[in-house]
């Protein structure tokens, strides 16, 4: 995930730190579906809050 991808959505430093932490959590979970599902929910929430520019 590159800086342009997150800044285009309007993510700030706080959101980038959260996103990096979530990526680490998924990697550290070694496929634990409970962890993956939890992070997926958080990602969907933040993506809804910061949608891709539509036009």
Q: pLDDT truncated to tens, each residue of the chain (55 aa)?
A: 788 888 889 999 999 999 999 999 999 999 999 999 999 999 999 999 998 876 6
pLDDT of residue 39: 98
Distances 15 to 6, 27, 32, 42 between C-alpha atoms, Å: 9, 18, 23, 11
Distances 27 to 12, 32, 42, 55 between C-alpha atoms, Å: 23, 9, 16, 34
Task: Note the Cα 26 to chain centre separation in Å.
Answer: 11
Q: Is the pTM of this model over 0.85?
A: no
pLDDT of residue 55: 65
């Amino acid at each position: 995930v590159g800086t342009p991808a997150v800044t285009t959505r309007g993510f700030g430093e706080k959101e980038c730190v959260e996103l990096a932490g979530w990526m680490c959590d998924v990697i550290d979970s070694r496929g634990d579906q409970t962890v993956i599902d939890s992070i997926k929910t958080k990602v969907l929430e933040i993506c809804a809050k910061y949608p891709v520019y539509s036009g």
